[in-house]
A and B are shown apart, each in its own frame.
Chain A
Amino acid sequence: SAVISQKPSRDICQRGTSLTIQCQVDSQVTMMFWYRQQPGQSLTLIATANQGSEATYESGFVIDKFPISRPNLTFSTLTVSNMSPEDSSIYLCSVGDPRETQYFGPGTRLLVL
């Protein structure tokens, strides 16, 4: 299993600013994933982050808006840039597992005013 922590757990931000969300895993993992969960909705995959390479973004998400870093096998950051109220969501970090189980962090609750 993998234990995932995220910082911050929640934040309230002003429009036009940026927020960087940190994801820490207690073991080395090859791939990490970032998801967004808008209010009352299901989870949507933002991007896949591999250590040492550029993140792969899903349709509708771009690097300029959601830059991702993956400096090592236990850590990743997601930045939400130039925020607007539409970015108010829960952002979740997730890691895969060779046995096909995926683990999720507790999420970062973001409110943009």
Chain B
Amino acid sequence: DAKTTQPNSMESNEEEPVHLPCNHSTISGTDYIHWYRQLPSQGPEYVIHGLTSNVNNRMASLAIAEDRKSSTLILHRATLRDAAVYYCILRAYSGNTPLVFGKGTRLSVIA
């Protein structure tokens, strides 16, 4: 799997938007960009994924650069419950390829 680079940690104030960056300069044309997060004392959970176009769901938005070498996960209004480690992962198009985790970004949310 291609490598991703994320900041080790970020901090946000509650109810403000958060932009979590991810660089993936060696992404291939068939790699999807996945975001998962791991809340304290829980297993990772799916957040969002995309290929080329920006994506929105009830949890977040994913903005993908035109050259696909970077992406940004956007939490529109951070809450204390969003404090977690966020992982940006590239995954080849296959439902049976296991996720390979990097170090992720630890997001702290301040009340």
Contact = CB atoms under 8 A, between A and B. Distances in A.
Chain B residues touching A, range: 20 to 34
Contact of B104 (A42, A98, A106): A42
Interface stretch (B18-26, B39-47, B66-74, B76-84): B39-47
What's the dominant secondary structure at chain B's contact region?
Answer: loop
Given A42-B87, A42-B104, A100 B43 contact: no
B95 A99 contact: yes
Nearest to B100: A45
19 contacts: A31-B98, A42-B85, A42-B101, A45-B100, A48-B98, A94-B99, A96-B95, A96-B96, A98-B95, A100-B34, A100-B49, A100-B91, A100-B93, A100-B95, A102-B46, A102-B98, A103-B46, A104-B43, A106-B42
Interface of A: 4, 30-31, 33, 35, 42-45, 48, 92, 94, 96-107
